[in-house]
């Protein structure tokens, strides 16, 4: 531990020590050379149907112009009856949804009740507004509770909207076209799943930031069906050779065994006080 | 224990003129109200290790660098708990009358005194229970936990700073 001229213990939470350095460095890097955070340039969609809510997402995570993760899980667990799709900076969505899930678990342990979707939305709103949009998390929350089936969207700045069908992310325009065309009130389960699948598929085809497989999550009063993957992309890479080495590939030239001699120097027995 | 702060107010007019830094403009107009009683004196305690200005990380030392924060959220985060309490108390005063915040503030003041010495980590259990933050998890519970910080302050200096004798 370094002893230094620290006069007060550092405050918990976010640390802004490097902000001055980053501001100075940003001027030095040319456009595009600074390292980019992992974003989920995404298509996520949700639809309210007769018995519940269907959420869908693609599985590509990009870091600049490179696909960083081909099987990224964008549908996060919040509560047994509430799930959340996240677009934006991957770390921000994951941490925010983790915190939200922990808070709701504490609440349900304290009160003995299942959390409602509107509680999750309020907690998220407070949390995101506090940071004025610096936490880049665009979220779609869907769930079934005692008041009905709900689908909400939350922006990074904290604005909230409740809608019957929704798409977010970089592929949202394409997905929204499909949803606008095919949505009706009180859809059946299979129709709703097919609608969401078609919407995500349109996003994948029309947007560079979305791709690979489609995940679907169906939330009803009876339970949750998280189908991952619902549809795999036809363009999976077929690796022809395996890249692992079989045991015995490297020949052994010589072998020398030196046993470590350990001798017991001192033995002391301490009774545990279990009174 | 009262603490004497260095009561130098920043010169707001100067900062309004010079608020461009590396081409990034920051609006300094509302900052005077937010720079509460925590304005450090430049040059007395530079932020690098061992008391020497760390030019590699924070650039050359200047008065402006030390007084103005470089991130727009830094001030609002530093004063967040304070502002939240003030807002809650003033709402309570408007709804229930002066007695409600007075009684609550008396309890807060009592709970705030149950602390260890400054270089040790105190649990603040009573204060957390009063505020209701023992049932909520936020970013300040997982990030930068002071109980696990790698830097240890010198105990004598920290106590003297808290008592205002430094």
Per residue in B99-149, pLDDT tens? Answer: 999 999 999 999 988 888 888 888 889 999 998 888 899 888 888 888 887
Say whether B70 and A20 touch across the interface (CB within 8 A).
yes
The percent of residues above 90 in pLDDT, for chain B, comes to 19
Give the pLDDT score at B166. Answer: 66
The yes-or-no verdict on residue B24 having pLDDT over 60 is no
The yes-or-no verdict on residue B11 having pLDDT over 50 is no
Q: In angstroms, what separates the C-alpha of A246 from chain B's closest C-alpha?
A: 43
Give the pLDDT score at B5. Answer: 39
The yes-or-no verdict on residue B84 having pLDDT over 60 is yes
Rounded to a whole number of angstroms, the CA Rg of chain A reads: 25
Compute the Cα dihedral for B144, B146, B152, B154 and give only its sign: positive
* H or E stretch covering B112: helix B99-112
User: What interface predicted TM-score (ipTM) does this complex get?
Assistant: 0.70
How many CB atoms sit inside 10 A of residue B90's CB? 11
Closest chain A residue to the Cα of B51, Cα to Cα? A5
Give the pLDDT score at B59. Answer: 61
Say whether A14 and B139 touch across the interface (CB within 8 A).
yes
- A239 in Cβ contact with A85 (< 8 Å): no
Low-confidence ranges of chain A (pLDDT < 50): 1-3
Give the pLDDT score at A30. Answer: 63
Residues forming beta bridges with residue A3, ordered by sequence position: B152
Side by side, the strands of the sheet bearing A214-220 are A165-168, A44-48, A52-58, A214-220, A224-231
Say whether A23 and B22 touch across the interface (CB within 8 A).
yes
Percentages of chain B per state (helix, strand, coil), in multiples of 5: 50, 5, 45
Mean pLDDT of chain B: 73
The yes-or-no verdict on residue B37 having pLDDT over 90 is no
Size of interface A-B (CB pairs under 8 A): 123
Is A42 a residue of the active site? yes
Tell me which chain A residues have a C-beta less than 8 angstroms from the C-beta of B61.
none
Mean pLDDT to the nearest integer, B151-166: 81
Give the pLDDT score at B107. Answer: 94
Structural domains of chain A in order of their starting residue, each with its CATH number: 43-231 (3.60.20.10)
> For residue B32, what pLDDT band results from cuts at 50, 70 and 90?
low
Give the pLDDT score at A191. Answer: 93
Tell me which chain A residues have a C-beta less than 8 angstroms from the C-beta of B78.
11
Give the pLDDT score at A18. Answer: 77
How many CB atoms sit inside 10 A of residue A37's CB? 12
The percent of residues above 70 in pLDDT, for chain B, comes to 58
Mean pLDDT to the nearest integer, B138-165: 83
Distances in whole angstroms, Cα of residue B105 to Cα of each of A226, B80, B82, B85? 49, 17, 13, 10
Residues forming beta bridges with residue B2, ordered by sequence position: none
Give residue-wise pLDDT tens across range A170-210: 889 999 999 999 999 999 999 999 999 999 999 999 988 88
Give the pLDDT score at B2. Answer: 38
Say whether A15 and B143 touch across the interface (CB within 8 A).
yes
Give the pLDDT score at B73. Answer: 84
Query: What phi and psi, each to the nearest 5 degrees, are found at residue A89?
Result: -70, 125
Q: Which of B19-28, B44-53, B132-141 has the lowest mean pLDDT?
A: B19-28
Quickly tell me which residue has 């922990």 as its tokens.
A102
């Amino acid at each position: 531990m370094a002893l230094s001229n620290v006069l007060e213990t550092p405050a918990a939470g976010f640390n802004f020590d490097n902000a001055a350095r980053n501001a100075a460095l940003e001027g030095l890097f040319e456009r595009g050379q600074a390292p980019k955070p992992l974003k989920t340039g995404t298509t996520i969609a949700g639809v309210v149907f007769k018995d519940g809510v269907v959420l869908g997402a693609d599985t590509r995570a990009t870091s600049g112009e490179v696909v960083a993760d081909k099987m990224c899980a964008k549908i996060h667990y919040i509560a047994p009856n509430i799930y959340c799709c996240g677009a934006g900076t991957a770390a921000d969505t994951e941490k925010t949804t983790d915190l939200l899930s922990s808070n709701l678990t504490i609440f349900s342990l304290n009160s003995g009740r299942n959390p409602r979707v509107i509680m999750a939305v309020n907690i998220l709103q407070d949390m995101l507004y506090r940071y004025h949009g610096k936490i880049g998390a665009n979220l779609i929350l869907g769930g079934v509770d005692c008041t009905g089936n709900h689908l909400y969207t939350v922006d990074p700045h904290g604005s909230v909207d409740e809608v019957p069908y929704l798409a977010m992310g970089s592929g949202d325009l394409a997905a929204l076209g499909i949803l606008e065309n095919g949505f009706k009130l009180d859809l059946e389960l299979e129709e709703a799943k097919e609608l969401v699948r078609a919407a995500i598929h349109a996003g994948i085809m029309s947007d560079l930031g979305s791709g690979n497989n489609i995940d679907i999550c169906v939330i009803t009063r009876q339970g949750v069906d998280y189908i991952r993957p619902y549809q795999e992309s036809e363009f999976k890479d077929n690796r022809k050779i395996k890249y692992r080495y079989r045991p015995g590939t490297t020949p052994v030239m010589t072998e020398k065994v030196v046993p470590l001699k350990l001798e017991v120097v001192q033995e002391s027995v301490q009774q545990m006080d279990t009174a | 224990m009262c603490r004497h702060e260095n009561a130098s107010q920043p010169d707001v007019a100067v900062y309004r003129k010079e608020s461009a830094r590396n081409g990034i403009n920051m609006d300094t107009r509302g900052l005077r109200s937010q720079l509460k009683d925590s304005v450090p004196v430049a040059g007395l305690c530079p932020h690098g290790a061992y008391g020497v200005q760390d030019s590699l990380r924070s650039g050359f030392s200047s008065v402006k660098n030390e007084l103005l924060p470089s991130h727009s959220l830094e001030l609002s985060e530093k004063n967040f708990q304070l502002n939240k309490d003030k807002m809650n108390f003033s709402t309570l005063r408007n709804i229930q009358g002066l007695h409600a915040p007075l009684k609550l503030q008396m309890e807060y003041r009592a709970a705030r005194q149950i602390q260890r010495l400054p270089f040790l980590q105190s649990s603040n259990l009573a204060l957390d229970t009063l505020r209701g933050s023992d049932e909520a998890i936020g970013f300040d519970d997982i990030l930068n936990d002071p109980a696990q910080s790698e830097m240890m302050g010198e105990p004598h200096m920290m106590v003297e700073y808290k008592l205002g004798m430094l």
